[in-house]
Amino acid sequence: MTADIGVRLREARLQRGMSLRSVAQAVGVSASLISQVETGKTQPSVSTLYALVNHLGVSMDELMGVVAPLADQGTTVSAAFGSTGAVEPAVQRGSENPVLEMENGVHWERLAVGEGGPADALLVSYDPGASSSIEGRLMRHSGVEYAYILEGEITLQLEFTTHVLHPGDSLQFDSVRPHMYSNNGDVVARGIWFVVGRRHQNQSMPSAAGADPSLARGSDARLTSAVDVLQAMDDLR
């Protein structure tokens, strides 16, 4: 199930009363690129997508059109074991995974996450030559990042250090540290990612000046790049 992220990004922007020009200026890209993403003519890079969802205060579930099941739709364990209040873990079939196809051969599949859970859980794939930023710029965002490499080879540039990760290798770091992923190999690289804390950070962002406080979460400050946006978020902690 491929997510129509352009439509949802446009809806989020309009709900928050933000113009194409203001969002483009905030995340450091052109207004025409934002327009092309919203109309589905192109896909954003990972770094641009993170900048957009953080600036708009959008969760991955919202972006992928995932509606959490109602609590009373779950099957309680008490029916089988006599306990009360416990609900069986949700099961999400692989064919049901919402998918984000991004620019430059990066694919995200959203894994099962409970309603209000603290993490974005993703199956991430990088095609040969793919990178989280086609401009070669390091990205930063809120949260703590965990990953386990399943196959292929992923190169992580974390600040001034480069790490090459192979199957069985894992990583963990504070995502506000500048970083970039790339696949310099000749086969697809794939791994499981958990970004913990980004959801909570988005939910705690203040409303933008001049916008409906029930909708707007971004800052009205004049920011000129995605790094500025994410730095502003860090300052709110």
pTM of the predicted model over 0.85: no
Asked if residue 83 is part of any domain, the answer here is no
Question: 140: closest CA among 173, 108, 103, 179?
Answer: 179
Asked if residue 32 is part of any domain, the answer here is yes
Asked if residue 71 is part of any domain, the answer here is no
More confident residue, 6 or 151: 151
> Cβ of 203: how many Cβ atoms within 10 Å?
11
Asked if residue 76 is part of any domain, the answer here is no
Question: 176: closest CA among 143, 130, 132?
Answer: 143
Write the CATH number for 168.
Answer: 2.60.120.10
Contacts of 205 (CB under 8 A, 6+ apart): 57, 217, 218, 219, 233, 236
Beta bridge partners of 196: 119, 144
Structure confidence by residue, pLDDT tens digits, 113-141: 666 567 788 999 999 999 988 778 898 88
- Please count the structural domains in the chain: 1
Quote the pLDDT of residue 229.
38
Asked if residue 227 is part of any domain, the answer here is yes
Asked if residue 11 is part of any domain, the answer here is yes
Asked if residue 79 is part of any domain, the answer here is no
Quote the pLDDT of residue 102.
82
- Tokens standing for 117? 């859970």
Range of the domain at 152: 5-66+90-235
Strand arrangement, sheet containing 106-110 = 99-102, 106-110, 119-126, 189-196, 144-151, 170-174
Asked if residue 78 is part of any domain, the answer here is no
